[in-house]
Each structure stands twice: as structure tokens, then as C-alpha cells.
């Protein structure tokens, strides 16, 4: 027996009406039903962070939340956050510093890093490298070994702090 539910939500600024199976995860809904394939399906039990998206302004694991739970929610994926230019500087820094290779973890890394950076802008303290490492500790990368990612996030933190002061 299958169970389907009607949901209405906002994805990347667009109103979406969906009809989803109760067991469907948010990340599967975004990828399969909306063809927003920037968020990836990795471990599917909350360990790797490849499925990271934002729900009502906060990063969440897309594999540990159901699509049906997002009725009425505002969901943002890497596609939306890229289009608005919100993280253009972070994306530039990742490219400049070779902070990505295969790119599988990168959308989750960017959204997670942006959450840290948005907490510390407006004259706030620039996060230390340890702060950055701890903040991204829930996102696995199997290519770069994190060093370049930490470099990129730190560079943006310093640049943004300089800009806002």
C-alpha cells in the first residue's frame, strides 16, 4: 500500500505544488521530481552531508527530512543560492584554490560554509581555521582532503569581514 500527500512549498523562490509519497526524502523530491540535481544523495543516513539544503533559512540534511514535512516551507538548493549571487565570492574562492575536484560534496560544503560565514559577518569575529574545520566536520570530501576547502572558506571570511568594517 502506498501513501501519497499533497504539498505546497517554495523552492528557490518558486511556488511548487507536489504530490509525494510519505516516505520520499526531501533530497529525492528535489532531484527526482524537480530535477534539481545539485544536492547529492550520498550515505542516506546523515553522515556525509552531500544532501545539504536549506529549509526556512537553516541548513539541514535532505536525506533525513521527508518531502511531506516541507509543506509550507521555504527550501533553497545550491541552484537557487547560486542564481541569487549570495555565495558568488565563496564559489570563486573554491575555484581559485582548487577546493573541489569531483564536486560531489561541493554544494553541501558551500551551503554549510555559507551558514558559518553568515553568522560571523557584520563586524563579527572571523572564524578561526579550527572553527571552520569544526563547522564543516559534518561534510565528507573524498578528493581534496579539506585543506583547500578550509583555505577557501577562510579567505572569504577575511574578505567579508574587511568589507563590512
Partner 1 sequence: MKPAPFAYAKARSVEDAVKLLGKHGDGAKLLAGGQSLMATLNMRLSAPSVLIDLNGIAGLDTIAVKDGMVDIGALARHAAVMGSDTIAQHAPLIAMAMPHIAHPAIRNRGTIGGSVAFADPAAELPACFLALNGEAEIAGPGGKRVVGADDFFQGLYETAIGPNDMLTAIRLPAATPDMRYGFAELSRRHGDYAIVGLAASARADGASLKDVRLAYFGVGLTPVRAKAAEAALASGNLDEAVKALATDLDPSDDIQETGAVKKHLAGVLLRRVAAQMSGARA
Which residues lie near partner 1 (CB under 8 A)? 1-3, 5, 21-23, 25, 28, 44-46, 49, 52, 58-61, 63-66, 68-69, 112, 115-116, 133-135, 137-139
Q: Is 123 exposed, middle or buried (0-12, 13-18, 19+ CB in 10 A)?
A: exposed
Of 13 and 22, CB closest to partner 1: 22
Least CB distance to partner 1 at residue 86 (A): 17
- Cα–Cα distance for residue pair 68/26, rounded to 1 Å: 8
Of 95 and 134, CB closest to partner 1: 134
Of 66 and 161, CB closest to partner 1: 66
Least CB distance to partner 1 at residue 121 (A): 16
The residue among 63, 61, 75, 66 whose CA lies nearest residue 5 is 66
Least CB distance to partner 1 at residue 127 (A): 12
Least CB distance to partner 1 at residue 58 (A): 4
Q: What is the DSSP letter of 128?
A: P
Of 96 and 129, CB closest to partner 1: 129
Sign of torsion over alpha carbons 46, 48, 54, 58: positive
CB 63 within 8 A of CB 95: no
Contacts of 20 (CB under 8 A, 6+ apart): 4, 5, 7, 29, 33, 67, 68
Least CB distance to partner 1 at residue 5 (A): 6
Crossing angle (nearest 10°) for helices 106-120 and 88-96: 120
Of 69 and 101, CB closest to partner 1: 69
Amino acid at each position: 500500500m502506498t501513501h501519497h500527500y499533497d504539498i505546497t512549498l517554495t523552492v528557490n523562490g518558486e511556488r511548487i505544488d507536489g504530490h509525494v509519497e510519505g516516505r520520499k526524502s526531501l533530497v529525492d523530491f528535489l532531484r527526482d521530481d524537480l530535477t534539481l540535481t545539485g544536492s547529492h544523495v550520498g550515505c542516506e543516513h546523515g553522515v556525509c552531508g552531500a544532501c545539504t539544503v536549506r529549509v526556512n533559512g537553516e541548513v539541514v540534511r535532505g536525506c533525513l527530512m521527508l518531502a511531506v514535512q516541507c509543506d509550507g516551507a521555504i527550501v533553497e538548493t545550491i541552484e537557487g543560492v547560486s542564481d541569487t549571487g549570495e555565495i558568488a565570492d565563496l564559489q570563486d574562492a573554491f575555484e581559485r584554490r582548487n577546493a573541489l575536484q569531483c564536486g560531489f560534496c561541493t554544494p553541501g560544503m558551500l551551503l554549510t560554509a555559507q551558514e558559518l560565514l553568515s553568522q560571523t559577518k557584520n563586524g563579527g569575529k572571523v572564524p578561526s581555521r579550527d572553527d571552520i574545520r569544526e563547522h564543516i566536520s559534518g561534510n565528507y570530501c573524498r578528493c581534496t582532503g579539506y585543506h583547500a576547502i578550509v583555505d577557501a572558506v577562510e579567505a572569504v571570511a577575511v574578505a567579508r569581514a574587511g568589507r563590512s568594517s
